[in-house]
């Protein structure tokens, strides 16, 4: 693949703070196209915060975020909409619309942003639900689904418009190992076949080994990236003892 060198997300000297509390202190990294990029770190260290920054929900205290070369924070109007069309997001809490059935939840972006006819939309929705293993639950309300099912439904909604980048906040939390492995397969298949870029927050070591092209690890105390690389390399070659141990599963207590 010669696309490997193409950068799709630039994070430049990013500092994030809630009021006066700095959560992330001056970090920079790049995500390449078609890559499965994993963000790792103890609970409360700012993974979700970083993810929300990367999709332009808040403006950072300092630094820039470029998606496909465009600054997502300063973009407005149509330009912003064009950037947003390139990304799909699954929030940690799933954020399905509680008053709509699963089918309507997934169909909504299609209705708003495409010119497909109604039958075509129905087919696309059912295909996405099939991809995440939820076909047959079209008429369920979100509150009638288990937590893991809600997560998968949220993934289906995030990818219904086939965005170039998918942001997933803890997709496998609350999933059984089998479903979790199926989800990994889906991610690998979409990344390889459709060149979709994934930015994923996850803690599942097996899943990290099987899907991640690259991992960054945040640390709560220094508020910076303490490890960056392929998971196998971090396990074998990291100069940070704690990181090596984490990847060998010797220390798990610090991770939610």
Partner 1 sequence: MIESRVTLNTEVSKDGVLTITISGRLDSTSTGNIWQGVIDALERASSKRVVVDTSEIDYCDGTGIGLLVEIQRRQKKTGSKLEISGLRDEYQKLLDFFDPLEFEESRPEKSRKTNLTEEVGRATFSVWDNIRSQVAFLGELVAALYLAARNPTVVRWKDAFLIAETAGVNAFPIVALISFLIGLIMAFQAAIPMKQFGAEIFVADLIALSTLRELGPLMTAIVMAGRTSSAFAAELGTMKVNEEVDALTTMGLDPVRFLVLTRVIATLFMMPLITIFANLFGILGGSVVLLSMGYPLNTYIDRIIQSADYVDLLGGLLKSLAFGLIVAGIGCSHGLRTRTGASAVGDSTTKAVVSGIIMIILTDGLFSVVYFYLGI
Residues near ligand ADP, by CB under 6 A: 18, 23, 41, 43-49
The residues in 92-131 that bind partner 1, with binding defined as CB under 8 A, are 97-99, 103, 110, 113-117, 119-120, 122-128, 130-131
Q: Does 194 bind partner 1 (CB under 8 A)?
A: yes
Name the residue nearer to ligand ADP (CB basis): 8 or 50. Answer: 50
The residues in 161-190 that bind partner 1, with binding defined as CB under 8 A, are 161-162, 189
Name the residue nearer to partner 1 (CB basis): 108 or 205. Answer: 108
Q: Does 253 bind partner 1 (CB under 8 A)?
A: no
Residues 6+ apart with CB under 8 A from 4: 32, 33, 34, 35
For 141-181, give the DSSP string: -GGGS-HHHHHHHHHHHHTTT--SEEEEESTTTT--HHHHH
Residue 86, binding choice from Mg ion, partner 1, ligand ADP, none, Cβ under 5 to 8 Å by partner class: partner 1
Structure token pair of residue 53: 């920054």
- The least CB distance from residue 51 to ligand ADP, in Å, is 8
Grouping H, G, I as helix, E, B as strand and the rest as coil, residue 71 is: strand
Q: What is the DSSP letter of 203?
A: -
**Torsion angles phi and psi, residue 145, rounded to 5:** -110, 155
Q: Contact 33/6 with Cβ under 8 angstroms?
A: yes
Q: Does 237 bind partner 1 (CB under 8 A)?
A: no
Rg over CA atoms, the chain:
18
Angle 102-113/147-158 helices, nearest 10 degrees? 10
Q: Does 5 bind partner 1 (CB under 8 A)?
A: no
Of 35, 18, 23, the residue nearest 211 (C-alpha): 35
The residues in 39-68 that bind Mg ion, with binding defined as CB under 5 A, are 48
Q: Rounded CA gap, 243 and 227, in Å?
A: 7
Q: Does 143 bind partner 1 (CB under 8 A)?
A: yes
Q: Rounded CA gap, 218 and 38, in Å?
A: 11
Residue 193, binding choice from partner 1, ligand ADP, Mg ion, none, Cβ under 5 to 8 Å by partner class: partner 1
- The least CB distance from residue 66 to partner 1, in Å, is 15
Q: Does 172 bind Mg ion (CB under 5 A)?
A: no
Binding site residues, partner 1, CB under 8 A: 82, 85-86, 97-99, 103, 110, 113-117, 119-120, 122-128, 130-131, 135, 138-139, 141-144, 159-162, 189, 192-194
User: What residues make contact with Mg ion under the rule CB under 5 A?
Assistant: 48, 92
């Amino acid at each position: 693949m010669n696309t490997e060198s193409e950068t799709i997300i630039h994070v430049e000297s990013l500092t994030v703070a809630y009021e006066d509390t700095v959560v992330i202190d001056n970090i920079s990294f790049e995500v390449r196209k078609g890559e499965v990029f994993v963000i790792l770190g103890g609970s409360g260290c700012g993974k979700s915060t970083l993810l929300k920054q990367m999709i332009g929900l808040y403006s950072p205290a300092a630094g820039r975020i470029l998606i496909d070369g465009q600054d997502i924070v300063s973009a407005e109007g149509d330009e912003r909409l064009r950037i947003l069309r390139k990304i799909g997001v699954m929030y940690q809490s799933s954020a399905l619309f509680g008053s709509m059935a699963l089918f309507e939840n997934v169909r909504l972006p299609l209705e708003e942003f495409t010119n497909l006819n109604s039958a075509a939309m129905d087919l696309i929705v059912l295909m996405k639900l099939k991809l995440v293993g939820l076909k047959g639950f079209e008429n369920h309300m979100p509150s009638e689904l288990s937590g893991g099912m809600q997560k998968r439904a949220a993934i289906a909604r995030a990818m219904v418009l086939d965005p170039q980048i998918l942001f997933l906040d803890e997709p496998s939390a609350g999933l059984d190992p089998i479903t979790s492995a199926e989800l990994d397969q889906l991610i690998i298949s979409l990344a390889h076949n459709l060149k979709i870029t994934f930015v994923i927050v996850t803690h599942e070591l097996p899943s990290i080994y099987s899907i991640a092209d690259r991992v960054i690890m945040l640390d709560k105390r220094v508020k910076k990236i303490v490890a960056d690389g392929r998971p196998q390399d971090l396990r074998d070659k990291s100069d940070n003892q704690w990181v090596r141990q984490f990847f060998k599963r010797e220390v798990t207590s610090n991770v939610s």
